Every structure is written in structure tokens, then in C-alpha cells.
Chains A and B, each alone.
Chain A
Amino acid sequence: MDHSKEFHSTIVNVNAFQSIFSYLSAGFLFGSLCISFSFFSQVTAMISSLCFYLGLRIIKKERKSFSCAFYISIFLIIFSGIDMVLFVTPFHIPKLINDFVWGLKIIEVILICLGLSQVMKNKMYPILLGACYSCMIFLNLFITWYSLLEMLILGMLFLLLFYLLINFKHNLFQQYFQVHLSPVKMSVTKVTLFYLIGVITLTFLVNGIYPYFMYQTRSMQQPHYSYPVLDEQSFPNGKVTIYDYDEDYYLNVYHYQIQKQHLKAIKISIQHLFSRHYQLSLQVVDLSVNDGCNDYVIQKNENPSSHMNEYLVYLHPQKQNYTIQFGILVNKKIGDQESGLFEESLYIDYSQYKLTFEAYKDVYRPYQQLYVRGSSGKIEKIFE
């Protein structure tokens, strides 16, 4: 019996469930980390669904619950790919479909745990595993990277999941050896490469092609204002002018120039930040984006539930210089109180989509931001 550690650990780990368990564990661990942070959630969702698919395709004939979970995993693997492709574009999957997919993920895990509990004497581990994973998925929907407490809870749940998986493996490998396995037609390497290369290629293709079909132009119309000027300030590549619009409103006109930038779309978002004391009304007027020859057609997207107005402009992908002009009407008074000029945050997000990975993160982290805040009619801070 005088053998090495490696020898001993290998001979006892040989089991019919060896690779199934590895795939399912990886699926659980990656799936539990779907935190909305840049590409992170899309990549982990892709890996998780791929791992579940690889594990389930081997045992799909063992139990009915495994076979149901297998079909769900096929749907989820396709959905994760589509989600990844759409991530680099301004298109989004509707919230209803997204919620449905989260529900499917939980159903998939419940089916896996149900199947595993049927093959094990000790049913506690599959139940705990399913509960822990579902908790993590549920938490991930609300968690932010900035909350220490939430991160701590998530970290502890992750450790618990890891602990449960180790104990689960020990129990499973000890008790269960006769499994009804199905032969596979494609090797793991081929499936993984086919899937990953397919998604990446599709991402690049969609990213390169969609701008040519999306932008629309019309003849140029430059608005001019004849209201009394209250204040004016320049900032890099632009200026803001504040007009006395009428008795009730200020008009803030932004004039902004972008030069030598390959952009595919510009998204202007205005989010109403309600405070306890003020409720400002804020209206965008005369929004225009032009490249010196033509105005681009702007799509407005109002979302009353999130108090967010979005203006999306698709641009000609081969132009480099643009001028953006827009005015915002801000009410002067709410009740008896002066509202100040800029109690709401306003930012311009230049969504940039390039065929390089570095540029993708700029979609969700605007590389240039215009930020205005002030009070009593004076601009305090501009361009941050």
C-alpha cells in the first residue's frame, strides 16, 4: 500500500459520476456568480449554462428530471449566447423575458437537485445545494458591488455552496456507481470551442454590421434662441448657455462637439433623481445630432417606471466628427422655493462600439461624461 498521494487520490476518485459532477459543480459555481458588472454576468452565465449542458447530456437518460433539465439547459445555452451578442449593441432583452429566464434557471437547478436526491441515500445535500444556489441567484438580482454587507453575504453563501459541493461529492462517490449514461456525439473540446467561437464570431459580426442598417439621416435644422442669456460657460469641446425662457422655466442649451471618434451610437439619458424636497420637471427640447452634412434621426425611449428618458441616435459608422445640441427646460420654482438650475443629474453617454474588446466596456462606462450641478442660478461644476 506504499503508494503516492497522487495515486491514492486518483484511484478513489474514479467513478461513473466523476466528470458529470465536475461539470455540474462548475455550473453551480459559475451560475451563482452572475453579478451585473460589465461582461462578468454574461460570461459567467455562458460558462455556467455550458457546464450544465455538458453534465446533463451524459445523464439525461438516467432520470426524467435530468432529461427535463437537459432541454432547459439547451434553451439557456442559446439564450446566454444571444445575451452576450446583444451586450455589445444598444439592443436589450425585454425585462419580462429576462425574468422568465431567471425562473428557468431556478427550475433547472431544482430538477438537477431532484434527480440527484433520487440517486442518493442522504437527500439533505441536494436540497441544501438547491436552496443555497437559488438564494444566490435571487441575491444576485439585487446585489451591488458597492455594498459590503451584500458582498459579505454573497461570499459566505458561495463558501457554503463550495462546502456543500465537496460533501455532496464525497457522498455521491461513495454510494452511487451504476448510472445509465448516454453516449455523446461531440467531444467536450469540440462543443466548447464550437459554442465559444460561434458566440464570439456572431458578436463581432453583429457589432460590425448593425450600425450600417440602423442609422437614419434627414436635412439639417439648426435651432437659434432669442431669449435673454443668464449665464454661459465653456468646457472642453463645448459650451452651455442658460436662457431665461419664460416666467416658469430656464432653458439650458448644450452645444457639444465630438471630433475624430469612430462612434456607432450616442445615447443621451436623463434620469430624474427625486429628492424629498424637490420635484423638478425636466424636458428636453430641440435635440439634434449632426455630422456637418445631415441630422441624424433620434429615437426617444421614455421609461416612466425608472424615471428615465433615453435618446438613442445611431450614427454613420465611418464619420468621425459630430455636433450635438440640445436644450433642457428646467422649472424655476416648486411651490415657494427656488429650484436652482441643476438639481438633477444629467449625463451624456457616448456609447462606443468598436471591434475590439477594450471598447466594449465603454458601452457601460461612458468615456466622457458631462455632469452639471448647481444652485441659485449659478453653475458650480461642469464637465467631470
Chain B
Amino acid sequence: MDKVIIKMMKNNDEQAIKYIKDAYLPFIYYILNPFSLSQEDQEECVNDVLLKIWNWRRQLCEDLPLKNYVAIITRRVALNYIRKNKKKLIFYEDMDIFGTYDYYEKIDWSKIIKQLKYHERTLFIRHYYYFQSIETIALELGTTYKAIESRLYRLRKKLKKILNKEGYHGSF
């Protein structure tokens, strides 16, 4: 289905946007949820995401699932929206390991993720990439708040080491 949608977009068929909405709208809202936006803000972000995907249509690769593009673009749109509208920036207390916000955005996530185990990777993406709260992660992973907190503590320690190794010396 993804390949068909990407082909349709490359052929400038606007019907593709409707298909993307049908298939990925719940996923877009799921990513937007942790950003604590109002209903109107979320709708604005969704429109922005769809527009960005449309503008990106020439660069879309058919080998990669469309869901990946949707995920990355949605997150970026939400962050930009918060920055532009001077909404409260979602910086959790333990985000200090990445130094400043700008610094955080420059980090090559792929390199870092490669060095993590599967469950650490999931936790990392949920908390540090999608900005999910500890409560949400605990609920969705079916464990306690404390268990996630201690896992995050261990992950932070590991991340500090990896970031230092990779040459990201933020102001911690």
C-alpha cells in the first residue's frame, strides 16, 4: 500500500493524501500527544505534516515504509511548532545529558541507537525522541513508574558514555 501511495504522490495525484490520512492519522496523533498541544494546535500540526510529506514527495524512497517518513516528519513539525509559537518547550529534567536544545537536535540518533540494546532502544526512542512521559511509558509497557524510572537512570548513564565517546560534549 505504501508503495502505491508513494507512486501516486510522485505522479502528483492528490488522492494520495487522503490515503495517508486514512492509514496514518491515528499514528500522527499518537506522536503529537506527548507535546501537550490543544486540539486546534494538533489539527494545525496534522495539516503541516501532510503538507510536508507532499512537499517531500520527490525525495521519498519506495523501499522505506511511509510510516517512517510520517513519524520523523510529525515529530519535527511538532518541535518546530512549539518553537515558533513559543509554547513551553518539552524539556524533561533529565534531558540535561544532551546539553542545550540546539545541541540535542544536532545529535546523530542513528549512531547512538546502534549502540543500545533492544529494550534500551525502545525506551530511548519513547522518552528522548518522542518525548513520552514516564507515566505513559510505564502504562504502555505494562510496568511500574519506578521500574521505568530506574531503567531510564541506567540508560542515562549509558547515554552519557556513548555521547562522550561520539564527541558530543554537551554542558552537563
Interface of B is mostly: helix
Residues in A whose Cβ lies below 8 Å from that of B113 = 4, 6-7, 10
Cβ-based interface call for A110 (8 A): no
Q: How far is the CB of B110 from chain A (nearest CB, A)?
A: 4
Contact assessment for A12 and B114 in the assembled complex, using a CB-CB cutoff below 8 Å? no
Structural contact, B147 and A187, CB atoms closer than 8 A? yes
**Given A3-B110, A4-B110, A16-B30, A11 and B72 contact (CB-CB distance below 8 Å):** yes
Do A184 and B140 have beta carbons less than 8 Å apart?
no
Q: Are A18 and B27 in contact (CB under 8 A)?
A: no
Considering the complex, which residues of chain A in the window 130-171 have a beta carbon less than 8 Å from any beta carbon of chain B?
none
Q: Is the CB of B125 within 8 A of A3?
A: no
- In the complex, A185→B113 CA distance in Å? 30
Please measure, in the bound complex, the distance between the C-alpha atom of A36 and the C-alpha atom of B7, giving whole angstroms: 52
Number of cross-chain contacts by CB at 8 Å: 97
- Considering only CB atoms, which chain B residue lies closest to A188 in the complex? B143
The reply to whether the CB of B139 lies closer than 8 angstroms to some CB of chain A is yes
Given contacts A1-B68, A6-B113, A176-B26, contact A11 B125 (CB under 8 A): yes
Interface string of A1-33 (1 = CB under 8 A from B): 111101110111111101110010000000000
Could you say which of A2, A12, A174 has the most chain B C-beta atoms within 10 Å of its C-beta? A12
Give the residue of A10, A18, A54, A177 whose beta carbon is less than 8 angstroms from that of B121.
A10
B110–A186 CB distance below 8 A: no
> Once the chains are docked, how many angstroms separate the CA of A144 from the CA of B141?
38
For window 139-165 of B, CB contacts with A under 8 Å fall at 139-144, 146-147
Q: Which of B40-48, B59-67, B88-96, B97-105 contacts A (4 or more CB under 8 A)?
A: B59-67
Which chain B residue lies CB-closest to A180? Answer: B139
9 contacts between A and B (CB under 8 A): A12-B67, A12-B71, A14-B122, A15-B30, A18-B140, A19-B140, A58-B140, A177-B30, A178-B26
Interface contacts beyond A57-B142, A184-B142: sample of 5 additional A-B pairs, CB < 8 Å, sorted by A: A1-B72, A3-B109, A6-B110, A10-B125, A18-B141
